[in-house]
Structure 1
Amino acid sequence: MLKIPETLAERLPVALPRGTAAVLTGARSLPLSMVAAVTAAGGHAAIVGQPRACLLAAAEMGADLSRIAVIPDPGEDPVEVAAVLLDGLDLVVLDLAGRVVPGTRARAVTARARQKGCTLLVTGGDWPGAQARLDAAVSGYEVIGAGTAGPVPGCGRIGRVRLVTRGRGRIPGLARVVGG
């Protein structure tokens, strides 16, 4: 099973099995928290096609940055770049940037992920045949330094983001909507 963040594990009945493909939508903190969980546990991950990925946020979530490969501009074929990375990593996050992936290509890459035991998380588009679909929406913020009177505009720092997560898919136990 892929190591997932404790906060997400509380909401999902099962972890994502290695070698699966999942589509993530919504808050960008969801894939970053998964990268953080995998690398903090000693695994290796890659982020493909996300030039604005916030590695500071990942580090604050506990990520080991020495275990993350970042390919901000994968060129014309980010799916091929991700497929190559599946060979030696535990997790690959692929941002499709709105590209459409034909079903036959998605099945071939998913089969490679399954064979190599690497989990593929797809953002920024759809992945035909994905075994799971996870969505996260920001439901609120907690501000550090807000004091007892509450947040003061322009003061403090976001210390925690509250998310509502939903999952569904063909993984046993993920067939229901979950939230938090």
Structure 2
Amino acid sequence: MPAPIAQLLPHRGLVRGSVVQLSGATAIHAGLVASVTESGGWAALIGTPRFGLLAATEMGANLKRCAVVPDPGPDPIAVAAVLVDGIDLVVLSLAGADVPPSRARAITARARRTGAILVVTDGRWPTVDLHLDARVAGYRGLSAVGGRITGVDLTVEARARGHQPCRADVAVTGRAGGVTWVAIQDDSVPLKVAR
């Protein structure tokens, strides 16, 4: 995980064999794929045709270590079940579906046995080890008269099973052809999103 988000987690990173639910801003998805592939792991993206591959690359992702299945057909869960056997990180979009508990248990057990991390988005998985939610809190680089967006501020909440929820504000900023993740200090005042 990017360092400021890892600080929110009980083990300072994702635990092999766990199931993680991601919701909210997609920057966290790209940061996760970048962290895994940059460190030599393999990632698979299932049912996410609009995933920001360029954003992940700018965050350090190695796309040679990514399998992309934009259209997994009628049963994306079956595709995920196969990929957890040999891939370190499997990101599965449920496309709004609710997964039956019996089916989820079988795939969760498989991920635990192989040490894969299964990340589910856009739907409901009955039991997860960790839920990460990232919401846009503001943008950087804009002023009252215009400008160019150079970063985004996120409010990230982590809810790990058996632990108190943790929350942090994180800035994701473009710098020198790359992207940095930094915890926002109290003296930083980003431009807030109009609601």
Distance of aligned partners of 1:19 and 1:151 in 2 relative to their CA distance in 1, 3 Å threshold: farther
Q: In the alignment, what sits opposite 1:142?
A: 140
Secondary structure, in 3 states, of the residue corresponding to 1:23? Answer: strand
Please, what TM-score do these two structures have when normalized by structure 1?
Answer: 0.87
Number of residue-to-residue matches in the alignment: 168
What pairs with 1:5-154 in structure 2 (closer than 5 Å)? 5-14=2-11, 15-143=13-141, 150=143, 152-153=145-146
Instruction: Determine the C-alpha separation between the residues in 1 that align with 2:102 and 2:164.
Output: 25
Instruction: Determine the C-alpha separation between the residues in 2 that align with 1:71 and 1:162.
Output: 30
Structure 1: stretches of 5+ with no match in the other structure: none
State the Cα RMSD in Å: 1.5
Q: In the alignment, what sits opposite 2:180?
A: none
Instruction: Determine the C-alpha separation between the residues in 1 that align with 2:18 and 2:36.
Output: 15
What displacement does 1:8 show?
1.0
Q: In the alignment, what sits opposite 1:177?
A: 166
8 Å contact from structure 1 (residues 12, 178) kept in 2: no
Please, what TM-score do these two structures have when normalized by structure 2?
Answer: 0.81
Higher strand share: 2
What displacement does 1:152 show?
4.6
What displacement does 1:151 show?
6.4
What displacement does 1:55 show?
0.3
Q: Deviations over 1:17-54 (max 9, x none)?
A: 10100111111111111011000101000110011111
Seq. identity, %: 50
What displacement does 1:13 show?
3.8
Instruction: Determine the C-alpha separation between the residues in 2 that align with 1:73 and 1:152.
Output: 42
Q: In the alignment, what sits opposite 2:152?
A: 161
Letter in 2 for 1:60: E
8 Å contact from structure 1 (residues 141, 162) kept in 2: yes
Instruction: Determine the C-alpha separation between the residues in 2 that align with 1:121 and 1:22.
Output: 5
Q: Deviations over 1:51-104 (max 9, x none)?
A: 111100000111111111110000000000011010111100000000121001
